[in-house]
Amino acid sequence: MSVCSQLKKLKTSRAAGIDELPARLLKDSAGVVAKPLTTLIYVSLFTGLVPSEWKSARVIPLFKGEDRGHG
């Protein structure tokens, strides 16, 4: 699958990721950003180096019902 096709499949109702880029922006600009993004991914795979920003995540717990993990 191409990077461009994956960008075009993004769900725009989802919250922005750790980069704070809205999915709508990525989806609408897929034709422009796909090639540089593909190059960046290939270079990372070829060199075995992963940018530190790609190793970050924002984790937010979602609790069911009244259970808040207390007690």
pTM: predicted TM-score of the whole model, two decimal places = 0.67
Distances (CA, A) of 66 to 56, 60, 70: 29, 16, 10
Overall number of domains in the chain = 1
Query: 69 lies in a domain?
Result: no
Q: Please name which of 32, 34, 37 lies closest in space to residue 5, comparing C-alpha atoms.
A: 34
Determine, yes or no, domain membership for 67.
Answer: no
Helix or strand or coil: residue 5? helix
Q: Give the SS3 label for residue 11.
A: coil
Per-residue pLDDT tens over the stretch 15-61: 887 788 899 999 999 999 999 999 999 999 999 999 888 888 878 88
Residue 66 forms part of a structural domain: no
Domain that holds residue 14: 3-55
